[in-house]
Amino acid sequence: MRDDIWHEGLETAAILLCDPKRSGDDWRLVVREMHVVPPAACLVRTATAVVVDPAFGLPIEKKGRVEGLSLVYCHTHPHQTKHVVFSHIDDHAEIELAKYAEARIPGIPHCALVFGSEAETARRLGTEETVKVTDIPHETASTYDRQIRAFGEDGQSALARLRLGVVGLGGTGSVVVQQLAHLGVADFLLIDPDAVETTNLNRTVGSTPKSVGEPKVSVAARMIRSVRPDARIEEIEGDVVDEGPAKRLTECDFVFCCTDSHASRHVINQLAYQYGIPAIDMGVVVDASGSTVTFAGHVKALEDGEACLWCLNHLDPKQIREEMMTPDQRKADPYVVGARVVQPSIISINSTVASAAVTMFLSMVTGLDAPARFLVYDGNRQRLSGVVAERNPTCNFCGPDSPAGRKDLEPLPVRRHG
């Protein structure tokens, strides 16, 4: 903004309209509109003074009154650099301005902001009460405008701050990260051991025929960067059932489980409760073995107070045992059945479930009003419904005697390489 109004020799001015947000005893003013005062609207404009024609301010102040916005009167001090202070003239002028602003738009704070060439100082209009000025990247105000209208500036900045772990970057995971990138998530940890195969191209969002053979995490990272070039992305081409990748996941603020491996889901389920890191598990099943195709899915939040996947009997112990085996162990065990049957998969069904998961995430993080924490998708009936999930009060994974909340005091259920 300084760049927009700065003049080397003469004082310049602008008026901002800001959304006033109460947070506790404090206020936060988020700039919504900036009105630069053109030279023609200055009654006085010298190296040490600028006086704005009241006629310029009138429509802006009127808009502020109608929409309940705070006024921030800005001007520059061309002779000041890093040490920026209000002048006596400013002190004097603000007394009347403060009375005027309070009379026009009462009950919310209005401010004065003065720019030097390298710094700025702000205060509540007509007082010595200083106000902190922080930069929100320009994109937050414009790119995410439609979102901010839905879940607020606080919700948007929460999204921008979170480190998101996404495990599995296939059918649902690729959709999830694409949506997260558009939403403004900027810090990703991606975990998947697999490379893209030709048969994945039908449903891996962001893949192209050239992606065959490329790690799924790399395809996902490239897609995220195409949406958000500034995103911080770490790619782990590994299995979350192994200790290394699983430990890295404990650095995240939120985890998406987008894998159909029961062992991975077991690990993430426990990690969520043990480390208090909220997670969302999702799954899609398309069954074409009968005479008709049936398809269904689920989305389940895993967080303190919510039933876990074991409470719901959603995990298969036998399958976990087999998936936890190393390839050598699997080969040595004559009872383990061979390659798994290839399941049908359809991008639109994956996307329905992934979208429901992302919306649940928004509800958990921004407070968006969508309280269901267990959703069941009945594809054939095209019905997505919230379901009550009963907790098992003695659950070994989320109950009072479980590792829940014990963080590093408990081992994660992962393969270690001793």
Partner 1 sequence: MLSSVTERQFERVKERYPEGTLQGLPSGAALVSIPGIALPPGWSAASTNVHFLVPVGYPGPPPDCFWADQTLRLAGGGQPQASNIQQIPETVIVGLWFSWHVVDGQSNWSPNRDDLMTFVSIVIDRLRRPQ
Half-sphere exposure (CA, 13 Å, Cβ side) for 108? 21
**Choice between 296 and 308, CB closer to Zn ion:** 308
**Choice between 225 and 331, CB closer to partner 1:** 331
User: What H or E segment, with its residue span, contains residue 285?
Assistant: strand 279-287
**Choice between 336 and 370, CB closer to partner 1:** 336
411 binds partner 1 (CB under 8 A): yes
- Residue 203 contact, options partner 1, Zn ion, none, Cβ 5-8 Å cut-off depending on partner type: none
321 binds partner 1 (CB under 8 A): yes
Nearest approach, Cβ of residue 361 and partner 1 (Å): 25
Interacting residue with partner 1 among 130, 198, 294, 329 (CB under 8 A): 329
Interacting residue with Zn ion among 181, 302, 311, 362 (CB under 5 A): 311
Number of residues that bind partner 1 (CB under 8 A): 36
- Residue 324 contact, options Zn ion, partner 1, none, Cβ 5-8 Å cut-off depending on partner type: partner 1
| Cα angle value 174/180/185 (rounded, 5°) | 135
Interacting residue with partner 1 among 166, 190, 263, 372 (CB under 8 A): 263
Chain-centre distance for alpha carbon 208: 26
Chain-centre distance for alpha carbon 2: 29
Measured CA to CA, the distance from residue 295 to residue 352 in angstroms comes to 12
* Residues 224 to 243 in contact with partner 1, rule: CB under 8 A: 241, 243
273 binds partner 1 (CB under 8 A): no
334 binds partner 1 (CB under 8 A): yes
310 binds Zn ion (CB under 5 A): yes
418 binds partner 1 (CB under 8 A): yes
Nearest approach, Cβ of residue 264 and partner 1 (Å): 11
298 to 144, 233, 244, 384: CA distances (angstroms): 29, 27, 28, 9
DSSP, collapsed to helix, strand or coil, labels residue 178 as: helix
347 to 171, 175, 190, 258: CA distances (angstroms): 7, 9, 20, 14
Nearest-Å Rg of the Cα atoms of the chain is 28
Contact stretch for partner 1 (CB under 8 A) within 7-15, 86-94, 251-259, 405-413: 405-413
* Residues 56 to 95 in contact with Zn ion, rule: CB under 5 A: 87, 90
Measured CA to CA, the distance from residue 306 to residue 116 in angstroms comes to 52
User: What H or E segment, with its residue span, contains residue 354?
Assistant: helix 347-366
Q: In this structure, are residues 393 and 399 in contact, taking their beta carbons and an 8 Å threshold?
A: yes
User: What H or E segment, with its residue span, contains residue 19?
Assistant: strand 13-23
Nearest approach, Cβ of residue 321 and Zn ion (Å): 19
Partners of 215 in the β-ladder: 195
Interacting residue with partner 1 among 3, 335, 371, 400 (CB under 8 A): 335
249-273 residues labelled b (16+ CB within 10 A) or e (exposed): beebebbbbbbbbbbbbbbbbbbbb
- Residue 117 contact, options partner 1, Zn ion, none, Cβ 5-8 Å cut-off depending on partner type: none
**Choice between 90 and 187, CB closer to Zn ion:** 90
* Residues 332 to 371 in contact with Zn ion, rule: CB under 5 A: none
Instruction: Show the binding pattern over residues 388-417: x = contacts Zn ion (CB under 5 A), - = does not.
Output: -------x-xx-------------------
Contact stretch for partner 1 (CB under 8 A) within 124-132, 229-237, 370-378, 387-395: 387-395
CB neighbour list of residue 131: distance below 8 Å, 6 or more residues apart = 29, 111, 113, 122, 123, 124
**Choice between 65 and 415, CB closer to partner 1:** 415
315 binds partner 1 (CB under 8 A): yes
Contact stretch for partner 1 (CB under 8 A) within 76-84, 115-123, 153-161, 329-337: 329-337
DSSP classification of residue 415 = B
250 binds partner 1 (CB under 8 A): no
Which ranges of 228-332 would DSSP assign to H, the alpha helix? Answer: 243-249, 262-275, 317-324, 327-332
Task: Give the relative orientation of helices 173-183 and 347-366 as an angle to the nearest 10 degrees.
Answer: 40
Return residues touching partner 1 (CB under 8 A): 241, 243, 263, 266-267, 270, 310-311, 313, 315, 317-318, 320-321, 324, 329, 333-335, 392, 394-397, 401-403, 406, 410-411, 413-418
